[in-house]
């Protein structure tokens, strides 16, 4: 590859990075929920963590499906 050629970022790369970002957000939101004394704000972060869990599960499902498709090629 020559220096002037752009780096190709695949769909899988983007999905994997999104999943990694989601996992980090879950950990952060759970930590905030435990550390914050205000029950309203703590509950908000707990709910945000739960929402991110669903996003993470969806992205993980996509990654698994991509892996299966790759094996079938």
The verdict on residue 1 lying in a domain is: no
Whether residue 7 is contained in a domain is answered as no
Asked if residue 58 lies in contact with residue 7, where contact means CB atoms within 8 angstroms, the answer is: no
CA dihedral sign, ordered 47, 19, 23, 38: negative
Residue 16 lies in a domain: yes
Tens digit of pLDDT at every position of the chain (73 positions): 567 888 999 999 999 999 999 999 999 999 999 999 999 999 999 999 999 999 999 999 999 999 998 888 8
Q: How many residues does the chain have?
A: 73
The domain total for the chain is 1
Determine, yes or no, domain membership for 44.
Answer: yes
């Amino acid at each position: 590859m020559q220096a002037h050629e752009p780096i190709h970022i695949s769909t899988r790369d983007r999905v994997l990075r999104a999943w990694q970002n989601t996992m980090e957000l879950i950990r952060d939101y759970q930590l905030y929920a435990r550390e914050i004394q205000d029950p309203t704000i703590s509950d908000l972060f707990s709910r945000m963590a739960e929402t991110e869990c669903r996003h993470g599960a969806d992205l993980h499902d996509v990654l698994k499906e991509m892996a299966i498709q790759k094996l079938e090629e």
